[in-house]
Structure 1
Amino acid sequence: MKKKEDLTKADEAQWKEYLKNPKDIFDKERLDEKSLNTNHRLRFDLHGFTLLDANQKVRELIVDCQEKGFREILLITGKGLHSNTDQNTYVSKELSKLKFSIPEYINSNKDLSDKIYSMEQASIIDGGEGAFIIKIKKL
């Protein structure tokens, strides 16, 4: 490519006009953190967490994500297939699994349920039965 030595007045005027409203250039420096997170989804895996630890972590995630402008949390709980609570006769087989206990925990805490729009099972691509999506309200 041969470089043009002298810029004509017409070229300079055209360039300045283009810079006023560039439509086909993505300027990542114009983005701030809040606009980056507007449609952003946080992904968090709860495999290996106990019920108490998972509940505490979910509380932290919902509060932090709302403050930072995240709109969704993809929460991976697993399907409960490897849960070792089935051997304990004093523990509920459903509620001892994160898949069932996390939604119950959120719905039973008004301060948390007030921060979300909805909670639904994730699509197969996002984890299906072993994950769900929490949609967060704006502050």
Structure 2
Amino acid sequence: MSVRFELDQGKVNAVKISIRKRILNKKQTEIIDTFTDCIINAMPSIVRDTLRSILICATRDWEMNRALPLNDFNFMHVNDRIKEFDSIYGFFIARIQDILIEELDEETIDFLRKASLTNYSDFLGSEGYAVDYYSFN
């Protein structure tokens, strides 16, 4: 499946300006970088820096919604991490839909979500975690 992303450059610049105020500690940076790696494999046509900026905004939205700091992410059970990654991915898609010139359809969003979740699950497996169960449906 080939997906093309045309981003509104003005909105991308607004996102990049908004994250300048956000200072990430080392642990948060590691988490964001891991998420970026997992998502960029599903969306290679988006510039890494842009994708990372959108992801930082999405994690901020997730933190405000969950009232949970991103630092606590690594202390969760592995299956809970996948569920929360899925939740963050929902915020990420909402952010990217605002920036895209032409919005993605549901089928494409579902495909990208499953690809990103699979990448994250594989990453956790490579780190030695036993991922028991998670439904990507």
| TM surpasses 0.5 | no
User: Given the two structures, how large is their TM-score scaled by the length of structure 1?
Assistant: 0.26
Q: Which has the higher strand share?
A: 1
* Higher RCO structure, 1 or 2 (CA under 8 Å, sep 6+): 2
Q: Which has the higher helix share?
A: 2
User: Given the two structures, how large is their TM-score scaled by the length of structure 2?
Assistant: 0.26
Larger radius of gyration: 1
